Amino acid sequence: MNAITGTWDLTVKTPIGSLAAVYTFTDHAGELTGTAEGGGESVALADLRQEHTADGQQVTWRQAVTRPMRLNLEFDVTVTGDTLTGHSRAGRLPRSRVTGTRRPT
């Protein structure tokens, strides 16, 4: 089982306010896939990668959103147990802090 597998409630703290989304990560025969739902849209995650580090499991991915505006986002987070912390970046905009909690199964 991957450290990030499951459903997560994520908050992204952007310069224009906090955005909430639900992320679902699944493991299909060793291949990690994911989706994000929030702001009235559901998008697939791309280039989903994970690596074990001394601090936990580092996970990175990309996604495109159209709401509240059209953006290409890059995420870099660390999973420790049922918590997730890290950041996202949209192009040249400043990094935004990301936090998350895994939903109980």
Query: Pick the residue with more confidence: 30 or 84?
Result: 84
Residue 90 sits in a domain of what CATH number?
A: 2.40.128.120
Q: What is the pTM of this model?
A: 0.91
Determine the structural domain holding residue 20 and report its residue range. 6-102
Query: For residue 44, what are the CA distances in angstroms to 25, 36, 52?
Result: 10, 6, 23
- Residue 61 inside a domain? The answer is yes
Check pLDDT > 70 for residue 1. no
pLDDT tens by residue, 57-91: 999 999 998 877 788 999 999 999 999 999 999 98
- Residue 40 inside a domain? The answer is yes
Question: What total of structural domains would you count in the chain?
Answer: 1
- Residue 1 inside a domain? The answer is no
Burial class of residue 77 in the structure, from the number of CB atoms within 10 Å of its CB (0-12 exposed, 13-18 middle, 19+ buried)? buried
Return mean pLDDT, the chain.
92
